[in-house]
Structure 1
Amino acid sequence: MKIHPLKFNPILKERLWGGTKLKDVLGKPIENDITGESWELSAVEGDVSVVANGDLQGTSLQKLINEYPEELLGKSVFERFGNEFPILIKFIDAKQDLSIQLHPNDELAKKRHNSFGKTEMWYIMDADKGAELIVGFNKDVSKEEYAKSIEDDTLLELLNYETVKEGDTFFINTGKIHAIGAGVLLAEIQQTSDITYRVFDFNRKDKDGNLRELHTELALDAVDYEKKDDFKVKYSVEKDTVNQMVACPYFNTNFLELTEDLELDITTRDSFTIYMCVGGSATVENDFGSAKINKGETVLIPANSNFIKLISSGAKLLEVTI
């Protein structure tokens, strides 16, 4: 099957904490001022991406996977995950602080929810002055101390705050308590999972005047209580080459800053390739066609491609494979 580079219609999500940067900065077609997420590439049931370009326009991602699994995903990816697309790609705009949360690991998520866990990474695209993330604890915390802080409403005193700027990148492994702070626009790459344990929500109420559900008891056995310094990703920003950012069992992410065209031989890459454009624009070609992506757009290259050519005089891209 000759599969050209695939762009997808964004799946836009209203969120209590959302804003307008997805429209104002990334050009998404949002129609309100509380849009918090643009799901760029998803096979989550009920939110399956649909092709927006070329001969396959109107075809769902899941239909393509079902009909051409090895050609699209790669043989090794298909053998590992079957017909389930293994990652979820998003842009997130936090006008307000997100809830403080964490995600269970694969073992716990499988046992409790028959789901994958949720390992994720964030690339900061835009941040208001002084904007912060919460990532982990500021000291080692016991389970009892954590539980008491939830009861006493003092959790915020135990958390680690990171001031962020464009280009900062964070790897959030399962169990790590975290939250995106107000004023942050970021690209998120994660395992395909929507299992989140919300532990504190600043006592906010939704549009109906209700407090959102917390998952206090579920979280107790899922939290990593140890203070760690393993979340800030250090990576090279050498131009016109592939710079490794994150390599983990669930996805691999590289950073590319282009000032000229770049052609990659991927004949031995047994995986699909995703490009998220986080700055500028580029035309992405494979054996079977091309697609242009601007800042805030995403493209999927099938695994049966032999090469990828990136045509650009100024683009910043995140490259994602399995």
Structure 2
Amino acid sequence: MLYPLKFEPIPMPKIWGGQKLKRLYNTDEYDNIGESWLVSAIAGNESIVKSGFLKDNSLSELVEVYLNDLVGNEVYRRYGNDFPLLVKVIDAADDLSIQVHPNDKIAKERHNSFGKNEMWYILDCDKEAFVYAGFNRKITEKEYLKAVENNTLEEYLQKHIVNKGDYIYIPAGCVHSIGRGCTIMEIQQSSDITYRIYDFDRRDKNGNRRELHTEEAVKAIDFENWQKTLSPTVFIDNEARKIVETPYFKTSILCLSKVQVLDLSTIDSFVLISVLDGKLNINHPSGKTVANSWETILLPASLDSVILSPEEKSQILITYIE
């Protein structure tokens, strides 16, 4: 019988990364970890099961073997053996580049890949930390290219001051950047395609500037849907509330202060439980899986229900595909 799966986190050192994600690895081996991939089927960076009889198997191997029992009938019909989502935690000790991601059509044509629609949840942040998402006014392609050429693009970007618990949906085609001092849980389509537009003239340890993708980016930008909204989380104890609803995934937030049964019988999909804060026991027919803060557990589609038992008040994201 399939059981809730916890994976080994995958460290991603970045030029802008910090020290906060070391807590996930219990080692000083890594430095400047910008991202920790919690659930991934990206080639070369595939999640490996941490425990149980499926230990040491990759996520892609599990999809190939267990098919719709793992991901759900409809999800398997749509995506086959390609696991469709990626979950990561981001620690921005410095500003990320200003960038954009392609939609499904462009990503398929250029890279034979999924596009990249994503959501961010602010796990923690410094005072006055911010993100860029969208433009602050209607802008034409010609104006955009001139701003890129003159290194004045920031003047046109919509700046959002963030607080812990805020969330925002970043669709493909939205120009964006995460500012320094933000720690973020990101749920996205399974894609690692980024078009870097501006990198603050930053140099790596070898003195080289990172590659920019000006031509690729301009055709990927959605100049029509230019406004984006950052929302604060409103918690209602022990009551799930949907915060993101897209064709790619749906995410609800739940603040748990008591034991609760999570009914999965009507969901024809795997379910991802991402712990934002607290510590959670997930009880299931095969035993118990413990989820700590900043971890994500994959619940196979074959499970009809699990019992969520918080060891302390816990906040979680519940994500699936409909």
Partner of 2:17: 18
Partner of 1:277: 275
Tell me the CA shift for residue 22 of structure 1: 1.1
Partner of 1:247: 245
The amino acid across from 2:58 in the alignment is S
- Quote the Cα distance in structure 1 between the aligned partners of 2:63 and 2:81: 6
The amino acid across from 2:280 in the alignment is A
- Quote the Cα distance in structure 1 between the aligned partners of 2:39 and 2:308: 20
Partner of 2:285: 287
State the SS of the aligned residue for 2:35.
strand
Partner of 1:71: 69
The 1:111/1:147 distance shift into structure 2, 3 A limit, reads: same
Give 1:159's match in structure 2, choosing from 145, 157, 172. 157
- Quote the Cα distance in structure 1 between the aligned partners of 2:14 and 2:102: 22
The 1:92/1:285 distance shift into structure 2, 3 A limit, reads: same
Q: Do 1:257 and 1:315's aligned partners in 2 also have CA atoms closer than 8 Å?
A: yes
Alignment of 1:24-35 (within 5 A): 29=27, 31-35=29-33
State the SS of the aligned residue for 1:244.
strand
Cα deviation digits, residues 85-122 of structure 1 (max 9, x gap): 00000000000000000011111111111111100000
- Quote the Cα distance in structure 1 between the aligned partners of 2:278 and 2:119: 21
Point out the more displaced range, 88-97 or 15-24.
15-24
Q: Do 1:4 and 1:290's aligned partners in 2 also have CA atoms closer than 8 Å?
A: no
The amino acid across from 1:9 in the alignment is E
Tell me the CA shift for residue 23 of structure 1: 2.3
The amino acid across from 1:177 in the alignment is V
Q: Do 1:137 and 1:158's aligned partners in 2 also have CA atoms closer than 8 Å?
A: yes
The amino acid across from 1:257 in the alignment is C
Tell me the CA shift for residue 27 of structure 1: 6.3
Q: Do 1:233 and 1:245's aligned partners in 2 also have CA atoms closer than 8 Å?
A: no
State the SS of the aligned residue for 1:175.
coil
State the SS of the aligned residue for 2:211.
coil
Q: Do 1:5 and 1:289's aligned partners in 2 also have CA atoms closer than 8 Å?
A: no
Partner of 2:50: 52
Partner of 2:89: 91
- Quote the Cα distance in structure 2 between the aligned partners of 1:279 and 1:162: 23
Cα deviation digits, residues 251-305 of structure 1 (max 9, x gap): 1111010110110221121101111111010101233332011111111110000
Give 2:39's match in structure 1, choosing from 32, 38, 41. 41
Tell me the CA shift for residue 233 of structure 1: 3.9
Tell me the CA shift for residue 30 of structure 1: 5.2
The amino acid across from 2:284 in the alignment is N
Q: Do 1:135 and 1:179's aligned partners in 2 also have CA atoms closer than 8 Å?
A: yes
Partner of 1:301: 299
Q: Do 1:139 and 1:226's aligned partners in 2 also have CA atoms closer than 8 Å?
A: no
- Quote the Cα distance in structure 2 between the aligned partners of 1:29 and 1:142: 48
- Quote the Cα distance in structure 2 between the aligned partners of 1:242 and 1:18: 32
The amino acid across from 1:86 in the alignment is P
TM-score by length of 1: 0.96
- Quote the Cα distance in structure 2 between the aligned partners of 1:237 and 1:64: 35
The amino acid across from 1:220 in the alignment is V
Cα deviation digits, residues 32-58 of structure 1 (max 9, x gap): 431100000000001110010222111
State the SS of the aligned residue for 2:187.
strand
State the SS of the aligned residue for 1:117.
coil
Question: Percentage identity across aligned positions?
Answer: 44
Partner of 2:178: 180
Query: Paired residues, what number?
Result: 320
- Quote the Cα distance in structure 2 between the aligned partners of 1:28 and 1:123: 24
The 1:30/1:68 distance shift into structure 2, 3 A limit, reads: farther
Point out the more displaced range, 304-313 or 164-173.
304-313
The amino acid across from 1:12 in the alignment is P
Partner of 2:206: 208
Unaligned runs of 5+ in 2: none
Cα deviation digits, residues 53-86 of structure 1 (max 9, x gap): 2221111111111100111000100000000000
The RMSD of aligned alpha carbons is 1.4
The amino acid across from 2:20 in the alignment is K
